[in-house]
């Protein structure tokens, strides 16, 4: 029998965290909807794990409040919050069997034996680990241990599940598989999930929304497509996906579109993010949005630059080019579908549409 959790919303209001003079979580205001999968994404030391520990109750905020639904939990100890947690190192008890590990949250709650057995069986079935109930953690692979840690976190039907870089210790193929499994379980249980990672691929693949964190602050909260296509600033553009970020100057603004120069080279146009005539900024364009050819393509309006190939790296499904255009280098990614392959030193033309580039501050 499939059981869905009673999912609930989570709200962090003006959360601050100090360690002495060090301000590690700053002005955190975030509302997570019931059944939403939200990822905290940021570099090491950005404060994302500290923010997760504050939600869990393992750290107390220096200021602010936390709500599950309409109920403030900021003063509740971790064991009274009813929140499931999956740690990066799994944190399984080595002296307990798989079934005993999964049952632990229920036994400490003094659940009846029949209920414990039924919920353990259901949780192990959900993570497809039924045949391993009598084994010990040291008899399992890393991926199997991760599944058991997940089963233990969901066995008591928490309304919110927190996951702190749970895929970090797995190899790439297993990590890709577990991403799909976590997404499946989250949908089946209708569970609110807060997931912490520094891996942008995990964040873009799994999340309903992504909260990008840098130096303790929420920099941008958005869905994957908007975050990738419309970053709000240079940090987000550089951290989420590969990007070209080239210093430029806005020469003239006309209805939100700017005539731009970079390194003395004039470009046709770029979308702006609030700049005015004469402002300095950074021209942002994704490598896959740039065409590379031996001659100018069509008569459509495009930004076009002459260049020379400095590096060509074959990546299987695509080739990654580094092209020298004046004083700047531009990275281009071209799908390998029979297009001409350019050698180092080849003269080329790179071009992109004005709507595919933005000037950021």
| Residue-by-residue DSSP string for 107-168 | HTTT--HHHHHHHHHHHHHHTT-GGGTT--GGGS-HHHHHHHHHHHHHTT--SEEEEESTTT
Residue 150, classified by CB atoms within 10 Å of its CB into exposed (0-12), middle (13-18) or buried (19+), is buried
Average pLDDT value for the chain: 91
pLDDT higher than threshold 60 for residue 259:
yes
Residue 304, pLDDT > 80, answer yes
- Cα–Cα distance between 210 and 36 in angstroms, integer? 11
Domain assignments of the chain as residue spans, ordered by start: 10-236, 245-360
For residue range 114-162, what is the model confidence (pLDDT) as tens digits? 999 999 999 999 999 999 999 999 999 988 999 999 999 999 999 899 9
Position 269 scores a pLDDT of: 77
326-342 average pLDDT score: 85
The fold for domain 245-360 equals OB fold (Dihydrolipoamide Acetyltransferase, E2P) (2.40.50)
Q: Report pLDDT for 6.
A: 65
Mean pLDDT of 78-88: 91
d(CA 357, CA 230): 10
pLDDT above 70 covers a percentage of the chain that reads 96
- The per-residue pLDDT for range 188-223, each reduced to its tens digit, is 999 999 999 999 999 999 999 999 999 999 999 999
Q: How many whole angstroms separate alpha carbon 159 and alpha carbon 139?
A: 31
CA pair distance 212, 46, nearest whole angstrom: 9
- Find out whether 352 and 303 touch, Cβ atoms under 8 Å: yes
Rounded Cα distance, 287 and 320, in Å: 8
Give 105's contacts (C-beta < 8 A, 6+ positions apart).
152, 153, 155, 156
User: CA-CA-CA-CA torsion for 62, 43, 83, 33, nearest 10 degrees?
Assistant: 90
CA distance 324 to 306: 9
Give the integer Cα–Cα distance in Å for 31 and 28: 10
Q: State the pLDDT at residue 2.
A: 52
Q: What is the pLDDT of residue 316?
A: 86
**Mean pLDDT (whole number) for 20-28:** 96
Query: The domain 10-236 belongs to what CATH superfamily?
Result: P-loop containing nucleotide triphosphate hydrolases (3.40.50.300)
For residue 295, pLDDT beyond 80: no
The pLDDT of residue 101 is above 80: yes
Mean pLDDT calculated for residue range 344-358: 91
Residue 233 and residue 360 in contact, taking contact as beta carbons nearer than 8 Å: yes
- The band of 296, judged by pLDDT with boundaries at 50, 70 and 90, is low
pLDDT (mean) for 253-258 = 83
**Beta-ladder partners of 156:** none
Cβ neighbours of residue 3 closer than 8 Å, sequence gap 6 or more: 122, 157, 189
Top-confidence residue, 142 or 55: 55
Q: Which residues of 260-289 are buried (b: 16+ CB within 10 A; e: fewer)?
A: bebeebebbbbbbbebeeebebbbbbbbbb
């Amino acid at each position: 029998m499939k059981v869905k959790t009673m999912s609930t919303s989570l709200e962090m209001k003006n959360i601050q965290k100090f360690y002495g003079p060090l301000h590690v979580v700053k002005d955190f205001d975030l509302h997570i909807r019931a059944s939403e999968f939200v990822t905290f994404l940021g570099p090491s030391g950005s404060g994302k794990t500290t923010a997760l520990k504050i939600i869990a109750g393992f750290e107390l905020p220096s200021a602010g409040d936390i709500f599950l639904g309409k109920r403030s939990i900021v003063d509740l100890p971790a064991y009274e919050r009813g929140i499931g947690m999956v740690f990066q190192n799994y944190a399984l008890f080595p002296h307990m069997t798989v079934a005993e590990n999964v049952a632990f949250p229920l036994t400490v709650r003094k659940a009846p034996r029949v209920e414990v057995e039924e919920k353990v069986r259901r949780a192990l079935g959900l993570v497809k680990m039924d045949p391993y109930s009598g084994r010990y953690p040291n008899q399992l692979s890393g991926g199997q241990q991760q599944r058991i840690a997940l089963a233990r976190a969901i066995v008591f039907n928490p309304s919110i599940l927190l996951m702190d870089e749970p895929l970090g210790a797995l190899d790439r193929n297993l990590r890709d598989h577990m991403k799909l499994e976590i997404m499946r379980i989250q949908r089946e249980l209708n569970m609110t999930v807060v997931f912490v990672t520094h891996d942008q691929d995990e964040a873009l693949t799994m999340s309903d929304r992504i909260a990008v964190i840098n130096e303790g602050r929420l920099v941008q909260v958005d869905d994957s497509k908007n975050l990738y296509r419309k970053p709000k600033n240079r940090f987000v553009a550089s951290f989420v996906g590969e990007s070209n970020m080239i210093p430029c100057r806005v020469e003239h603004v006309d209805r939100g579109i700017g005539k731009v120069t970079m390194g003395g080279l004039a470009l046709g146009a770029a979308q702006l993010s609030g700049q005015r005539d004469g402002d300095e900024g950074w021209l942002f364009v994704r490598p896959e949005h740039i065409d590379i050819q031996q001659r100018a393509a069509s008569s459509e309006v495009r930004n076009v630059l002459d260049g020379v190939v400095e590096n060509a790296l074959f990546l299987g499904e695509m080739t990654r080019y580094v092209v020298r255009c004046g004083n700047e280098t531009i990275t281009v990614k071209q799908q390998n579908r029979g297009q001409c392959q350019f050698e180092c030193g080849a003269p080329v033309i790179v071009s992109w549409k004005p709507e595919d580039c933005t000037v950021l501050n």
